[in-house]
Amino acid sequence: MYVNGNLVGTAVTAASAYSNLDTLDIGARQAGSGYAYSWTGLLDDVRVYGRAITPLEVRALTYNGIPPTIAIVAGGTQVVVGWPLEAVGYELQSGTNLVSGSWTLVPGVTTNSVSLTPVGTQQYYRLHRK
């Protein structure tokens, strides 16, 4: 089980999922003609998948709508721009002005980081949702 993108517990499950004609209930358990054992607290962003999702997919869900942080490290004649591997669906863009102007796609990005050679003018970088 994951809470806020962090693994907090594991369990062994049955080889096949239990199935019946009843509806799926979240927050209480059916007991006779009513419900019992109601959940005390709040539930949000509950999802049910037809398969086990990978830890990478779980972490990617934490970036749904929240832009990831970019790390920029200068070393020698190169600047390395990187971001979390789980932040899928973004493209790296650069621009010369934060207030006005246009952003252009940074060429050569194939993973979650890229080494760049500074071009002599001030550059800004951002991750933009594809």
Domain positions in the chain are: 71-129
The segment with the largest mean pLDDT, out of 67-71, 84-88, 103-107, is 103-107
Going by C-alpha positions, the residue among 44, 46, 47, 127 that lies closest to residue 87 is 127
Cα–Cα distance for residue pair 104/123, rounded to 1 Å = 11
Amino acid at 51: R
What are the tokens at 67? 């832009």
Note if the pTM is more than 0.85: no
pLDDT at 9 over 80: yes
Rounded average pLDDT over 72-96: 87
